[in-house]
């Protein structure tokens, strides 16, 4: 799991002044799709990251955070093709066989939505995808979720040109 790449995609409202946001909280009815333990691990990692960037957790925040996740099985990502073909003056044909060389694995997508508390408007969003093992130890799970948060928030707030 520690070897799996974490892929992240971002989207945000380019008209947003991110310097106006200093406080945050989570939606009270958030349904993350994570186990209770993984949800707490993720929120601890997220709180630590945001607070290191100067944001404060408060009851009346500038923005709310919503987290959604989904687990899915990815298709095998590589194959070996073996082809046999021949042509003659009047004859042609071919055979191709695809042999998968890696198993499909379980992937986890985590979506982070930041919603302006006053305008009830989504202003920043990120999607992460990474490998996931449901039988991983608690320390491996914690490490993986911290790595996801670190990667996702490495470019937050965005530098708007």
Say if residue 21's pLDDT is above 80: yes
Q: Are 129 and 147 in contact (CB under 8 A)?
A: no
Reported as a single tens digit per residue, the pLDDT across 88-138 is 555 555 555 555 544 457 889 999 999 999 999 999 999 999 987 878 899
| Measured distance CA(96)–CA(102) in Å, rounded | 19
pTM comes to 0.78
Q: What are the structural domains, with CATH classification, of the chain? A: 7-74+105-155 (3.30.160.670)
Take residue 154 and report the two structure tokens written for it: 């490495």
Rg (CA), the chain: 22
| Measured distance CA(74)–CA(24) in Å, rounded | 34
Reported as a single tens digit per residue, the pLDDT across 40-74 is 999 999 999 999 999 999 999 999 999 999 988 86
């Amino acid at each position: 799991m520690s070897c799996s790449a974490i892929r992240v995609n971002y989207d945000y409202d380019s008209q947003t002044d991110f310097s106006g946001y200093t406080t945050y909280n989570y939606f009270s009815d958030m349904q993350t799709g994570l186990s209770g333990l993984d949800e707490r691990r993720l929120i601890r990692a997220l709180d630590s990251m945001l607070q290191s960037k100067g944001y404060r957790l408060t009851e009346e925040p500038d923005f709310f955070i919503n987290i959604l996740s989904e687990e899915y099985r990815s298709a095998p990502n590589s194959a070996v093709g073996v082809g046999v073909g021949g042509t003659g003056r009047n004859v042609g044909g071919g055979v191709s066989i695809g042999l998968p060389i890696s198993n499909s694995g379980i992937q986890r997508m985590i979506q982070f939505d930041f919603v302006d508390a006053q305008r009830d408007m989504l202003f920043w969003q990120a999607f992460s995808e990474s490998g996931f093992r449901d039988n991983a130890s608690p320390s491996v799970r914690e490490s993986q979720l911290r790595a996801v948060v670190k990667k996702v928030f490495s470019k937050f707030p965005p530098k708007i040109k």
